[in-house]
Each structure stands twice: as structure tokens, then as C-alpha cells.
């Protein structure tokens, strides 16, 4: 896997895009904001969400959701829990079965109390247990500053957790696997 898409370009999405770029992937971040996309592409910054950080040349941004969904071999969803279903539904028609889907959003869907992995499986038409969950005690600003961070990627399918681990792990962003998505 050489390309990743990150939905959306907030602080956590930008931090994880930076980890992926540091690990050699070309990353396309999706945002609804044309001004934000232009700032990322032209000034290599995302000042509202990660003030003072310079973004890798490997990171680009787009407001075209279809282009974003088509781009990545891996799709990393970091949309707020309140927006996850809408973003996934909007992207679903362009997402292919072979794309690895990871989510890094804390919380539950307010109306249904569903976990984000279940929301994604439902909206993307994925079988249960096929979405990888990234979680752990971490802060976007610390990840951007390359402070040592440890997280877990969980999936009921060990090969998917291992694939996510391989994409994300590096000398300062340590990633461990687990089968317990809850």
C-alpha cells in the first residue's frame, strides 16, 4: 500500500496523515473547506487544527469526496462521531472492497449508541469485523511534535490489524494489535 486517504482534515486526521506521510505513503486528506484545502496544498499548513506545524510534501488535500475515496489503498476515517455516518454514506459508492478501512474516532453515534466501526460497516456495506479501530491515549499535537505515542489497532481479523500496524508504526508512533474492537 502506497497511498492513503484521510477523512477529514481536522487535528487528529492531520496528525495521522503526517504519520502515514512520514512512513512513506502519499496521503490525500478530504475536507469540505476549499480554503482549508488550498492552505494545505499551497502553504503546507493547517493552522486552525495544527498551528505552527509544517506538513509533508506527501500530503495533499481535496474537497472532492469521490476523488478522495478513489485515491487510497487505505482509508482512514477521523471524522467526528457526529459526522461519521454522513461522511461514510457520502463516500460509500466510491469505496472498493479491497481498500483497508481504519477509523480513529472516539465515541459513539449519539442517536444509536453504535461504535464507529459498526457505523462504518453498515454505511460501507462491509462485513462485521472488517473495519480496523485505532485507539489509545494520544493527542494530535503530541503526534505532530513527534513525541512518543502508543496506540492500539484492533480488528477481529488479525491480518487487517497487522496491515494497519505496518502502515502506522514507526520509531515514535508505536502501534500494537488486539482483537477486541470494543
Question: What's the pLDDT tens digit per position in 127-172?
Answer: 888 899 999 999 999 999 999 999 999 999 999 999 999 999 999 9
Q: 50: which 3 cell numbers?
A: 495544527
Cβ atoms of 1 and 100 within 8 Å: the answer is yes
- Beta-sheet strands, E only, within 99-172: 100-103, 132-135, 149-154
Q: Is 21 strand, coil or helix? A: helix
pLDDT category of residue 1 using cuts at 50, 70 and 90: low
pLDDT of residue 67: 96
pLDDT of residue 128: 81
Lowest mean pLDDT among 14-28, 55-69, 113-127, 156-170: 113-127
Residue 109 predicted with pLDDT over 90: no
Across the range 30-54, mean pLDDT stands at 97
107 vs 35 pLDDT, higher one: 35
Q: Which residues are bridge partners to 152 per DSSP?
A: 135, 176
Answering whether pTM is above 0.85, one says yes
Amino acid at each position: 500500500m502506497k497511498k492513503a486517504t484521510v477523512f477529514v482534515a481536522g487535528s487528529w486526521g492531520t496528525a495521522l496523515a503526517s504519520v502515514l506521510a512520514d512512513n512513506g505513503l502519499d496521503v490525500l486528506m478530504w475536507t469540505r473547506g476549499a480554503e482549508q484545502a488550498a492552505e494545505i496544498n499551497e502553504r503546507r499548513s493547517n493552522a486552525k487544527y495544527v498551528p505552527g506545524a509544517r506538513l509533508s510534501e506527501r500530503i495533499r488535500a481535496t474537497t472532492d469526496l469521490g476523488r478522495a475515496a478513489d485515491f487510497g489503498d487505505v482509508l482512514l476515517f477521523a471524522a467526528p462521531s457526529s459526522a461519521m455516518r454522513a461522511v461514510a454514506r457520502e463516500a460509500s459508492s466510491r469505496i472498493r472492497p479491497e481498500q483497508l478501512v481504519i477509523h480513529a474516532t472516539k465515541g459513539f453515534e449519539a442517536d444509536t449508541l453504535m461504535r464507529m466501526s459498526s457505523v462504518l460497516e453498515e454505511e460501507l456495506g462491509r462485513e462485521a469485523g472488517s473495519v480496523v479501530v485505532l485507539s489509545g491515549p494520544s493527542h494530535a499535537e503530541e503526534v505532530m511534535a513527534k513525541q512518543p505515542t502508543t496506540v492500539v489497532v484492533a480488528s477481529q481479523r488479525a491480518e487487517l490489524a497487522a496491515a494497519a500496524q505496518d502502515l502506522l508504526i514507526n520509531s515514535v508512533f508505536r502501534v500494537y494489535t488486539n482483537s477486541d474492537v470494543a
